[in-house]
Structure formats: C-alpha cells, structure tokens
Amino acid sequence: MGYRKNLRIVCGNLKDKGSLIKTVLSSKPHKSAVRCVILRATTHGSSSPPSNHRIAAVISLGLESKTEACSCIQALMDRLHSTSDALVALKCLYTIHNIIGKGFFILKDQLSMYEYFRGRNFLKLLTFRDDLDPETREMSKWVRWYAAILEQNLLVSKVLGCHLYSKRAKNVIGKEKDNFSSSLNSDLLNDIDALVEFACQVGDLPDSLHLQRKSLVYEIVRSVGEDYRLVQREIGTRVAELEARMMSLSSSEWTQFLNSLTKFEDCKEGISLLFRNRNRNDELWDLVKETRAKLVAVMKDRGNDGKRT
C-alpha cells in the first residue's frame, strides 16, 4: 500500500475520532448521538462493509420518533456529501441501501421525503471522483454506479406504490392475475419502463470488476443482486399480463412495450457479466424474447392490414 494511501488512512481515522469527540461535546446531545451512530458505521480506512451491529444501530434510529429519523437521514446525507473518500461514500450508500431494504417505515419515509424535495439524482454523486490514486479513481466509478441504482430503486418504489422489499410487494407472488386484472395498460407499461431502467442501471456497470475482491464491493454487488432478483419478478409478471392483452393494445402502447423489451434485452450482457451464473432466470429472458417476437409480428400484420385498406 502506497505512502499516500497509508497517510490518508491515518488522517481519516484521526478525523473520525476528532469528529466523534466534537459530536459528543456538542450542545445538542440528541443530534450528537445520532451523528455518532452514523460516523461509526461509515469509518475511514477499512474496505469492509459496516458490520451488522453498526447497520442495526442506524436502522434502530427510526424507532423512537420522526425527529430522530429525520436527524438520521440528514446526518447520513451530510456525511455522504462532505466526503471525497470513495470507501466512505460507498459505506454511506450501503447504509442507505440497508435503510431501503430493512428500515422501519418512518425511516424510509424520511429518505423518500429527502428524495422528493431534492428531485432526481438526489444523491448528487454524478461527478464524484476520488483522485488519490488509480484504484480510488476506479472505486469512484462504483460510487457513481451504486448511487444511480439506489436512486432508481426509490423511483421504482414510487411508481409501483410500494418498496420492493415490502410485505405488499411480496404478497404479489402467486396472485399476479388478481393483482393486475384491473390495472390499466398504461400503468403496467409505466411500471415496466421504471423496472427496465433499474435493470439498465445495473447493467451499466464499471469496467473494474476485479474490485469485487474487496469485501465492501462484493457485499454491495450481492445486495444489488437481491434487488435485481425482485425486479426480475416484477418485470416477468407484467410482461406476462401484457402479452395476454396484446391484441387490445393501441399502436402507441405496442411501441412503448416493444421499446421496453428491446431495452431490457440490450442490458442482458452487462447484467450477465456482473452476476455471472447468478440471477440468470432463463425463463424470464425466454418470455421477453418470445413476447417481443409476437409483438413485432402483430405490429407487422396490423401495418400490412392498414396498407391493404
């Protein structure tokens, strides 16, 4: 490990200790306690993910009150936006991801409110770059990739009306027809658009796949893989429903449906590279391929009918 990186780790650890002391001595003990929890979960130096008990401590901040949950999200965002260290940024994003997946409603709600008031790309990491050395510059790509996925995760939740990990989403399994029979074509198509965009963000992966050897990046990819598995399920149920309704779709709906299926197929290679043999779901890809072929044939037939008339 180079001298500059060793120096950064030492300075980072000292900075963390200084921040903890300053926070503890703060005149606002309630907020200082919250900030201490966030600092301990997102320390400098180590390339390991925050431990389970550190994540549990963050998630528990949503139990007491809305004020505490708000302070938690604000402290986490302050930490994320004030750092130029790629590892610290990834730990902050990993903590946010755990809030999305495991947090109590009040904590998720505060995160959604933060996103609502700051708009798309609310994590503001599109230009993040850690210039310490070549590896940190590569790690910065993972920061930007991960941030885009988390932003799309929340957008998907907004479009679907529930978080992917919520009980409501899980209860859809085995009840697809009952859940979608009353849904408008336009709603199902908009759902697919958002879900496919999530898949495309996953497939637009950094080229430094060797960094998955680092336990933090490995754990991040594993967590994203869990989200993607749920997204696959949601895409499959909606594609199957729209395939059954294919003859009732309008011309514009055919075009939107075809574009979504094509876009999804185009991101398959990147997704396969990231997950290797995991999350293959050949049945879904076969369904998408067959549905796309049927859709092209129907559109072609309708076009020929129009010419004959």
pLDDT at 193 over 80: yes
193 part of a folded domain: yes
Domain around 17: 1-164
Examine the domain organization and report whether 132 and 272 are in the same domain.
no
Within a domain: residue 170?
A: no
- pLDDT more than 70, % of the chain: 82
Choose the final residue of a domain: 129, 164, 199: 164
Q: What is the CATH number of the domain that holds 272?
A: 1.20.58.150
Does 26 score more than 90 pLDDT? no
| Per-residue model confidence (pLDDT) at position 59 | 94
pLDDT classification of 65: cutoffs 50, 70, 90: confident
Query: Which pLDDT value is given to residue 53?
Result: 95
> In the prediction, which pLDDT does 49 show?
95
For residue 105, the model assigns a pLDDT of: 86
Residue 163 binned pLDDT confidence (cut-offs 50, 70, 90): confident
| Percent above pLDDT 90 for the chain | 61
Of 119, 139, 164, which one is at a domain's C-terminal end?
164
Compute the distance between CA of residue 34 and CA of residue 230 in angstroms, rounded to an integer: 32
Nearest to 52 by CA among 111, 98, 12, 87: 98
Say if residue 120 is in the same domain as residue 207. Answer: no
* List of residues 6+ apart from 249 with CB closer than 8 A: 185, 242, 257
Instruction: Give mean pLDDT, residues 102-115.
Output: 87
Query: Within a domain: residue 171?
Result: no
User: CATH number for the domain including 67?
Assistant: 1.25.40.90
Statement: residue 308 has pLDDT above 60? no
Task: Specify whether 147 is located in the same domain as 216.
Answer: no
Contact 184, 244 (CB under 8 A): no
pLDDT category of residue 33 using cuts at 50, 70 and 90: confident
Confidence of residue 9 (pLDDT cuts 50, 70, 90): low
Q: Are residues 240 and 152 in the same domain?
A: no
Contacts of residues 184-187 at CB distance under 8 Å and 24 or more positions apart, as own/partner, are: 185/242, 185/245, 185/248, 185/249, 185/250, 185/253, 186/253
- Asked whether residue 145 falls in the same domain as residue 185, the answer is no
- The verdict on 86 and 151 lying in the same domain is yes
- What pLDDT score does 274 carry? 93
pLDDT digits (tens, 9 = 90+) for 270-290: 999 999 877 788 999 999 999
Range with the lowest mean pLDDT among 48-57, 87-96, 120-129?
A: 120-129
Task: Work out the average pLDDT over 37-53.
Answer: 90
CB 23 within 8 A of CB 65: no
Q: How far is residue 37 CA from its own chain's centroid?
A: 23
**Does 233 have pLDDT greater than 60?**
yes
114 within 8 A of 72, measured Cβ to Cβ? no
172, part of any domain: no
Same domain assignment for residues 216 and 285 = yes
Residue type present at position 165: Y
Mean of pLDDT values over 83-99: 96
Do 113 and 258 share a domain, yes or no? no
Would you say residue 18 lies in a domain?
yes
In the predicted structure, residue 68 carries a pLDDT above the cut 60: yes
pLDDT of residue 28: 57
| Least confident range of 75-79, 120-124, 148-152, 171-175 | 171-175
Over residues 245-272, the pLDDT tens digits come to: 999 999 999 999 999 999 999 999 999 9
Which of 143, 164, 185 marks a domain boundary?
164
Residue 43 above 60 pLDDT? Answer: yes
pLDDT band at 121 (very low <50, low <70, confident <90, very high): confident
Residue 169 lies in a domain: no
If asked whether residues 151 and 196 sit together in one domain, one would say: no
The C-alpha atoms of residue 144 and residue 206 are separated, in whole angstroms, by 9
Question: Given CA atoms 180, 181, 186, 187 in this order, what sign does their dihedral have?
Answer: negative
Q: Are residues 145 and 80 in the same domain?
A: yes
- Considering the domain architecture, whether residues 197 and 291 belong to the same structural domain is answered as yes
Report in angstroms the alpha-carbon separations of 194 from 81, 137, 160, 188, 191: 26, 30, 9, 10, 5
Cβ(236)–Cβ(261) under 8 Å?
no
Judge whether 37 and 69 are in contact, CB under 8 Å: no
The number of domains in the chain is 2
pLDDT at 76: 95
**Domain identity same for 182 and 284:** yes
